[in-house]
């Protein structure tokens, strides 16, 4: 049976099962808890079965899926590899809160694929190794560049992995009430089964299956809501009108007397909390609580438009000055980070040819686009629902989705001025994740759709975790152990080590995530800047500039990483500020330093040897000479074959 047929049947089957569960819910009153269990069990079951069916011990299959993944499927796999728990659950909410400024994420996380398509993807495929450090090792002759690559790959991937594992725990605990720590380990079973049994091959096909679940579940609630409001089931076309309505409402709310009263009360509360903090005689725990209270009160006291006579709400305001600089800088960092993250780059090793690698980048972005193109619509719909259906209702008659989701602690409705009516400033948002999570109930859909959204969020987190886990384990086993420590290791031994490392890495990630360190969320955003500043310059120069040599690349990677890390830590903890740039956009300094260093140091030192220069030339022309194809040992030394 062809792949397309298999996945068509799979999609139809999955939708069919969802409908069956929906019928069971309506007819027999299937409790929500059960629905949650069924969806989790079903989806994990599918991933485990794929893992078992595609198990392999062949290194080409294990590291690069036998280079047999057609462009379309590699596109889907890249889509779910790329879209994490944050994209699925948090992005729409962040857009709803940040308005225009949040669009930096939407553009940054998609525009990076153009850089990947024209600078890296097809060339890496033509080179044809197993890992990104493989390329660095071969191009920049030797283990030093490879080891820097290993360190950078692990640094970016591990923080990112912990965030995914945390996402799994949150989803499982939120939907089926399992303890967070247990949820984390249950989710890991789904990840480990496929990565241990079949490496990249299993991970690829699981990711395709996960993409289908995640995209269907993301689109259903918002498509339905669009149909409900406008009779057009394409939210991307209809939410423009909502933006106008929302804007008018934001200005009305800013002028409304009751709202002003409520905001004044919040402002007073913020003032009191800050005064208490300043007085100094509070213990640490109280101080933390006061800080949090003051933050919420300040947030609530902020009007949705800048002033009474404003014509535009804050939501639509385009930032200016430093705000604009940060918007552009963040967009840039997210783009180069996207093109530099090793778990995404390795996906392009798995296509059968350079042609398919190119087409595959286009498919990847198309599949990612389907979700990112919809996220701003989610944000507009959520805002509309709160403005039009919540503001102005009686406290005693709150809509169903509010009473259902309030206990989850994502938001609260507090009647601040005690008038019995909900004001905008009475709606206290604690986590903007509510936007995606509560949308099915907002649209009045049955609980089965909420279960579907859970399965989608889980798929998003697990698929990204799969890719990251494999990248980390391969960096240790293939690059560090096999290529640096023991190049004579047998195939069986190497695969054994990879599998053991997969399990260990997963357990360590799960263990770290149970501490719930708040800074993890921030670190994920940092991973983009780190990847952008370390990998991007070395890879691009390595492919595009023959003269780039070992000394230049090593110095460049170290300098780029150092400048980025210096500004990150300095701006986050020690109040350093260059042009008012935010911490997450640190690569805007590190990246140019990286490029410049490679350029200058390479020119000051000897040109790379002839075989390396030939390698650069061979990477430019498909089918020319040969880089590594299917060396049974997968050794990363392709030089001289042309």
Partner 1 sequence: MADLTEEQRKSYWRYNIKLTIILLVIWFVVTYLISGLWAGWLNQFSFLGFPLGYYMAAQGSLAIFVIEIAVYAYLMNKLDKEYGIVEGD
The residues binding partner 1 (CB under 8 A) are: 100, 103, 106-107, 110-111, 113-114, 117-119, 122, 236-237, 240-241, 243-244, 312, 316, 318, 320, 324, 327-328, 331-332, 335, 352-356, 358-359, 361-362, 365-366, 369, 372-373, 376, 617-618, 620-625, 642
The CA dihedral of 43, 46, 47, 48, to the nearest 10 degrees, is 120
Minimal distance, residue 248 CB to partner 1, in Å: 13
Instruction: Decide whether 292 or 318 has the Cβ nearer to partner 1.
Output: 318
Positive or negative: CA dihedral 76, 77, 78, 84: positive
Instruction: Decide whether 290 or 641 has the Cβ nearer to partner 1.
Output: 641
Please provide residue 421's backbone torsions phi and psi, each rounded to the nearest 5 degrees: -120, 140
Instruction: Decide whether 416 or 546 has the Cβ nearer to partner 1.
Output: 546
Residue 590 corresponds to which tokens in the numbers above?
A: 């590190």
Strand partners, 421: 394
Instruction: Decide whether 348 or 481 has the Cβ nearer to partner 1.
Output: 348
Instruction: Decide whether 15 or 114 has the Cβ nearer to partner 1.
Output: 114
Minimal distance, residue 374 CB to partner 1, in Å: 10
Residue 125 corresponds to which tokens in the numbers above?
A: 């495929």
Please provide residue 609's backbone torsions phi and psi, each rounded to the nearest 5 degrees: -60, 160
Closest CA to 433 of 21, 92, 127: 92
Instruction: Decide whether 178 or 380 has the Cβ nearer to partner 1.
Output: 380
Can you tell me the distance from the alpha carbon of 169 to that of 180, in angstroms, rounded to the nearest whole number?
5
Instruction: Decide whether 32 or 352 has the Cβ nearer to partner 1.
Output: 352
Minimal distance, residue 640 CB to partner 1, in Å: 13
Minimal distance, residue 240 CB to partner 1, in Å: 3
Can you tell me the distance from the alpha carbon of 19 to that of 5, in angstroms, rounded to the nearest whole number?
21
Buried b (16+ CB within 10 A) or exposed e, 378-408: bbbbbbbbbbeebbeeeeeeebebbebbeee
Minimal distance, residue 257 CB to partner 1, in Å: 28
Strand partners, 428: 412
Please provide residue 63's backbone torsions phi and psi, each rounded to the nearest 5 degrees: -90, -35
Instruction: Decide whether 172 or 334 has the Cβ nearer to partner 1.
Output: 334
Minimal distance, residue 323 CB to partner 1, in Å: 11
Minimal distance, residue 438 CB to partner 1, in Å: 22
Instruction: Specify whether the CB–CB gap between 618 and 121 falls below 8 A.
Output: no
Instruction: Decide whether 121 or 137 has the Cβ nearer to partner 1.
Output: 121
Residue 50 corresponds to which tokens in the numbers above?
A: 């794929």
* Tally of CA atoms within 13 A in the half-sphere of 48 that contains its CB: 11
Instruction: Decide whether 358 or 478 has the Cβ nearer to partner 1.
Output: 358
Minimal distance, residue 173 CB to partner 1, in Å: 32
Instruction: Specify whether the CB–CB gap between 83 and 460 falls below 8 A.
Output: yes
Instruction: Specify whether the CB–CB gap between 526 and 159 falls below 8 A.
Output: yes
Can you tell me the distance from the alpha carbon of 170 to that of 178, in angstroms, rounded to the nearest whole number?
9
Task: For 305-425, list the strands marked E by DSSP.
Answer: 411-413
Minimal distance, residue 36 CB to partner 1, in Å: 32
Residue 523 corresponds to which tokens in the numbers above?
A: 């670190």
Minimal distance, residue 99 CB to partner 1, in Å: 9
Instruction: Decide whether 136 or 361 has the Cβ nearer to partner 1.
Output: 361
Minimal distance, residue 583 CB to partner 1, in Å: 20
Burial of residue 574 (number of CB atoms within 10 Å: 0-12, 13-18, 19+): exposed
């Amino acid at each position: 049976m062809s792949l397309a047929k298999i996945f068509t049947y799979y999609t139809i089957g999955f939708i069919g099962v969802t409908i069956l569960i929906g019928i069971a819910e309506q007819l027999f009153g299937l409790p929500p808890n059960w629905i949650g269990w069924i969806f989790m069990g079903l989806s994990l079951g599918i991933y485990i079965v794929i893992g078992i069916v595609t198990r392999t011990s062949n290194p080409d299959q294990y590291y690069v899926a036998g280079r047999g993944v057609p462009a379309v499927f590699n596109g889907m796999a890249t889509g779910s590899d790329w879209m994490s728990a944050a994209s699925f659950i948090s992005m729409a909410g962040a857009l709803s809160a940040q308005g225009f400024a949040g669009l930096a994420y939407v553009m940054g996380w998609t525009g990076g694929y153009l850089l990947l398509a024209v600078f890296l993807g097809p060339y890496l495929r033509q080179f044809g190794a197993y890992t990104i450090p493989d390329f660095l090792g071969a191009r920049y002759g030797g283990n030093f560049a490879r080891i820097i690559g290993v360190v950078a790959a692990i640094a970016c991937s591990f923080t990112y992995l912990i965030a995914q594992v945390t996402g799994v725990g949150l989803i499982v605990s939120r939907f089926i009430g399992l303890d967070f720590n247990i949820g984390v380990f249950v989710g890991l079973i789904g990840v480990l089964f496929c990565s241990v049994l079949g490496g990249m091959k299993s991970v690829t096909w699981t990711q395709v299956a996960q993409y289908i679940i995640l995209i269907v579940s993301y689109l259903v609630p918002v498509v339905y809501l669009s149909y409900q409001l406008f009779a057009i089931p394409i939210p991307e076309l209809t939410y423009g009108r909502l933006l106008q309505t929302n804007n008018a409402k934001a200005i009305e709310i800013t002028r409304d007397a009751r709202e002003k009263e409520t905001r004044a009360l919040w402002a007073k509360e913020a003032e009191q909390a800050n005064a208490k903090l300043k007085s100094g005689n509070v213990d640490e725990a109280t101080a933390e609580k006061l800080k949090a209270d003051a933050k919420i009160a300040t947030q609530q006291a902020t009007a949705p438009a800048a002033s009474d006579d404003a014509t535009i709400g804050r939501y639509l305001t385009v930032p200016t000055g430093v705000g604009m600089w940060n918007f552009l800088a963040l967009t840039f960092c997210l783009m180069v980070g996207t093109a530099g993250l090793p778990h995404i780059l390795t996906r392009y090793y798995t296509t059968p040819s350079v042609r398919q690698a190119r087409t595959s980048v286009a498919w990847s972005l198309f599949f990612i686009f389907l979700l990112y193109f919809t996220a701003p619509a989610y944000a507009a719909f959520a805002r509309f629902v709160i403005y039009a259906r919540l503001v102005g209702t009686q406290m005693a008659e709150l809509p169903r989705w509010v009473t259902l989701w309030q206990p989850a602690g994502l938001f609260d409705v507090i009647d601040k001025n005690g008038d019995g009516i909900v004001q905008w400033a009475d709606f206290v948002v604690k986590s903007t994740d509510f936007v995606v999570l509560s949308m099915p109930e907002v649209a009045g859909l049955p609980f089965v759709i909420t279960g579907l959204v859970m399965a989608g969020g889980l798929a998003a987190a697990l698929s990204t975790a799969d890719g990251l886990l494999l990248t980390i384990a391969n960096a240790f086993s293939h690059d560090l152990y096999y290529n640096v420590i023991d190049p004579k290791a047998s195939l069986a031994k190497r695969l054994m080590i990879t599998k053991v490392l997969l399990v260990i890495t997963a357990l360590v990630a799960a263990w770290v995530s149970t501490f719930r360190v708040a800074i993890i969320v921030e670190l994920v955003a940092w991973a983009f800047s780190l990847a952008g500043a370390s990998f991007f310059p070395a890879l691009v120069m390595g492919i595009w500039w023959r003269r780039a040599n070992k000394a230049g690349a090593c110095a460049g990677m170290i300098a780029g990483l150092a400048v980025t890390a210096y500004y990150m830590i300095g701006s986050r903890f020690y109040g350093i500020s260059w042009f008012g740039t935010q911490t997450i956009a640190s690569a805007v300094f590190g990246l140019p330093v990286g490029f410049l260093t490679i350029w200058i140091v390479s020119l000051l030192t000897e040109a790379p040897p002839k075989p390396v220069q030939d390698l650069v030339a061979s990477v430019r022309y498909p089918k020319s000479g040969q880089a590594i194809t299917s060396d049974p040992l997968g050794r990363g030394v392709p030089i001289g074959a042309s």
